[in-house]
Structure 1
Amino acid sequence: MTGYYDYVLGLIPLVLFGVTAILTTAGVGLTTAVPIAAIGSVGIMGHALFVNGPVESQPGAVTQNTQSQQLNAD
């Protein structure tokens, strides 16, 4: 089952190569097209990290583990 991060990993090279190809076809130089396309790829990575960041799937497991460690320490 594909999730959000699977799509993100697929979109990063797609945007990088696709936007570069579109810009070079439109007449923009390659040395200009690659950094512009890289901005789009970095934007996707930034969205995946900061806007829709990874979260822990079972937050209750961490609290139980922490509580058991505290009991063992006493």
Structure 2
Amino acid sequence: MSRYYDYVLGLIPAALLGVTAFLNLVGLSLTAAVPVGASVALALMGHAMFVRAPLDDAARTSDAAGTGSRSASAPFAGSGSD
């Protein structure tokens, strides 16, 4: 999984500069191309943070075993009656 984050770290500036340069070469003004390139870089960061979020070793092993962090009898932590 660390390779994925290495690629993402390399793709962030590449997307920002590459998309901006490509759109500028195609004919879009620089002031319009920079926000588009930045939104592509932001989408990469959002994907890395929320879609393929980094997990610690305990969560990775429990998810691989099919036992999530929540049990079926208590779906929400701390929702018991006191």
Displacement, 1:54? 0.5
2:52 paired residue number: 52
Query: 2: distance between equivalents of 1:17 and 1:26?
Result: 14
Query: 2: distance between equivalents of 1:30 and 1:19?
Result: 11
2:34 paired residue number: 34
Alignment TM-score, normalising by the size of structure 2: 0.67
| Structure 1 segments unaligned to the other structure (5+ residues) | 61-74
Displacement, 1:58? 3.7
Query: 1: distance between equivalents of 2:40 and 2:57?
Result: 29
Bigger helix share: 1
Aligned-residue identity in percent: 51
Displacement, 1:57? 1.9
**After TM superposition, what 4+ stretches of structure 1 lie above 3 angstroms from structure 2?**
none
Query: 2: distance between equivalents of 1:27 and 1:3?
Result: 35
| Structure 2 segments unaligned to the other structure (5+ residues) | 62-82
Paired positions, count: 59
RMSD: 1.5
Tell me: higher relative CO, structure 1 or 2? Use CA pairs within 8 A at least 6 residues apart.
Answer: 1
**Superposed counterparts of 1:4-43, under 5 Å:** 4-43=4-43
Structure 1 residues 19-67: Cα deviation after superposition (integer angstroms, max 9, x where no partner):
001000001000000001101000000000000001002458xxxxxxx
